[in-house]
Amino acid sequence: MLILFILAIIVSFIVVRIGAIAFQLTGLEWSLAKFQALSCFSGTGFTTKEAELITANKQRRRIASVLIILGNAGLVIMIATLAGSLVPQETILSKLSESFLPFRIPSYLVIWVNLVIIVVVVYAIYKVFTHEKFVRRLTNFLRRKIIKREIFQKVSFEELLLATGGYGVSKIKVSTGSPMLDKTLSQSKLRESDITVLAITRDAETIPNPKADTKILLGDELICFGKLENIRNKLA
């Protein structure tokens, strides 16, 4: 039972991360995607304003539905396995005392020791899944698998704000076939098309007001202001 409880926790972390990646692929900003995935899976913190971002999009509704179902099922499994892990006859210490010790340890002591083991294991799992390098590698691995299998339709272009006269702010994801890839901002000649790059998001870093010699790399997200029609024709 204890092993099943540990596996349920590990799977829960992975499912939430997959949900966050899926939300991001639909156009949500990464920090918001992580929060929404955790909210759906745990059933907490889902505000009305942010719920509209999910309910207004078919793909996001599907992702949220799967996360909610898996979250409810995962909670039931974790409660059941946790309760089973604290049964004196099923605890690790009880098994060890029966096999290796000449005396039987009192059941009340066995339960508390097993509870301590569970807390330590849960804390260790939490530390592993919040370690920056490990999480980055896991996220990149899961993202590659999701994109390769085409489980969700990837959105690389998102209009964030519409303004008068056809102008607005858009977020562009630089993919393999992008005409901007490996060019500097000056080489891209975006200014000639009345497009201004306000910021570049690269991994977890944001480069505000990038200089003309800033090189555009694969995976960069360009926050652009200009005529939306020009942005679509030039970048999307």
Q: pLDDT for 154-182, tens place per residue? A: 655 555 555 456 777 888 888 888 888 89
Please name every residue paired with 196 in a beta bridge, in sequence order, or none if there are none. 225
Q: 226, 193 in Cβ contact below 8 A?
A: yes
**What distance lies between CA 206 and its chain's CA centroid?**
18
For residues 180-190, average pLDDT: 90
pTM over 0.75: no
For position 204, what pLDDT does the model report?
76
* Domain ranges (residues) in the chain: 2-149, 157-234
Q: Which of 193, 191, 178, 202 is nearest to 230 (CA)?
A: 193
Question: E strands within the chain?
Answer: 157-162, 167-173, 195-202, 205-208, 221-227
Which tokens go with 56?
């207004």
What does pLDDT average to over the chain?
79
Spatial neighbors of 93 by CB under 8 A, at least 6 apart, are 105, 109, 110, 113, 114, 117
For position 92, what pLDDT does the model report?
52
pLDDT at 101 over 80: no
Q: 43, 158 in Cβ contact below 8 A?
A: no
157-234 to CATH, choices 2.60.40.1220, 3.30.70.1450, 3.40.640.10, 3.40.50.300 = 3.30.70.1450
